[in-house]
């Protein structure tokens, strides 16, 4: 169950990044409030997941999901470059997160 919670928490991190971008420097109230809501849920879920996952692995997985998801979101939603090197590096993050799961 902890692994499902950490994945959900990482997805909430992607929501944080999305809303930070849409808030335009925290000038749009709706997206600013959504950003803080996602932060609250992301950290709360991280806390819950770390009860069953070592902190070293849990934090790495959480940041990995957030980082890889944010890069992919940027490429597909915000029309950022889809450079092959970027895709290769994001794939490496995803492979490492899966590897951490397999050895934990």
pTM for the model stands at: 0.90
**For the segment 36-59, what is each residue's pLDDT rounded down to a tens digit?**
999 999 999 999 999 999 999 999
Q: For each of the chain's 104 residues, which pLDDT tens digit applies?
A: 999 999 999 999 999 999 999 999 999 999 999 999 999 999 999 999 999 999 999 999 999 999 999 999 999 999 999 999 999 999 999 999 999 999 98
3-state SS, the chain, equals CHHHHHHHHHHHHHHHHHHHHHCCCCCCHHHHHHHHHHHHHHHHHHHHHCCCCCHHHHHHHHHHHHHHHHHHHHHHHCCCCCCHHHHHHHHHHHHHHHHHHHHC
Domain ranges of the chain: 2-103
């Amino acid at each position: 169950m902890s692994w499902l919670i950490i994945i959900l928490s990482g997805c909430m991190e992607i929501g944080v990044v999305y809303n930070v971008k849409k808030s335009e420097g925290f000038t749009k109230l709706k997206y600013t409030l959504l950003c803080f809501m996602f932060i609250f849920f992301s950290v709360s879920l991280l806390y819950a997941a770390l009860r069953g996952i070592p902190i070293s692995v849990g934090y790495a997985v959480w940041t990995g999901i957030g980082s890889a998801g944010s890069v992919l979101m940027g490429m597909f939603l915000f029309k950022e470059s889809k450079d092959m090197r970027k895709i290769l590096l994001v794939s490496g993050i995803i492979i490492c997160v899966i590897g951490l799961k397999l050895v934990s």
